[in-house]
Amino acid sequence: MDKLYEELFRAMNQFRKLKFAEMFPMINRTDFFVMCTIMDKGENGKITISELASRAKMLPSAISRTLKGLEERGYVERNINKNDRRNTYVELTAEGERLTEEARQIMADFGKSVMSQVDEADMKHLISYLDNIYHIAEKEIEARKGQGRRKEREHE
């Protein structure tokens, strides 16, 4: 079973090695993800930095670094909320929207090309299996959350 476990995670992890960014060199994977999150999740095209960090499941410091680079390249703008100066909104510029749409189209075309080479029934089974494994793993992590801390206290 250990070998099977290793093979599963090797197979899943190898997707991280794919160099999607080479298909659109103007932005990296994180930039693309953040820009899509802004476009999809923003209220009236705007989203607060804290909401963006939460929805993107990224640390605020990582979001700030990413936004700084995107802002310097003219893809996003930050605006302070006039009614609540504690909130800063982020929105895509026209160029940011254009680039995000272009990158999305490239990814959609790529996905269609890849998927056209795989049997649909096999793909549906694979997705179902992976979703099932994910939910099992998620529950297992939740069940084990406190175990490491308990062991540390036992050794003190």
User: Whole-angstrom distance between the N-terminal and C-terminal Cα of the chain?
Assistant: 34
The bridge status of strand 46-48 relative to strand 76-80 is: unpaired
The answer to whether residue 151 scores a pLDDT higher than 70 is no
Alpha-carbon span 18 to 20, nearest angstrom: 6
| 109-123: pLDDT as tens digits | 999 999 999 999 999
Query: Quick check: helix, strand or coil at residue 92?
Result: strand
| 51-67: pLDDT as tens digits | 899 988 899 889 999 99
Tell me what pLDDT residue 45 has.
65
| 15-32: pLDDT as tens digits | 888 887 788 878 888 999
Phi, psi angles (nearest 5°) of residue 76? -135, 160
Alpha-carbon span 106 to 101, nearest angstrom: 9
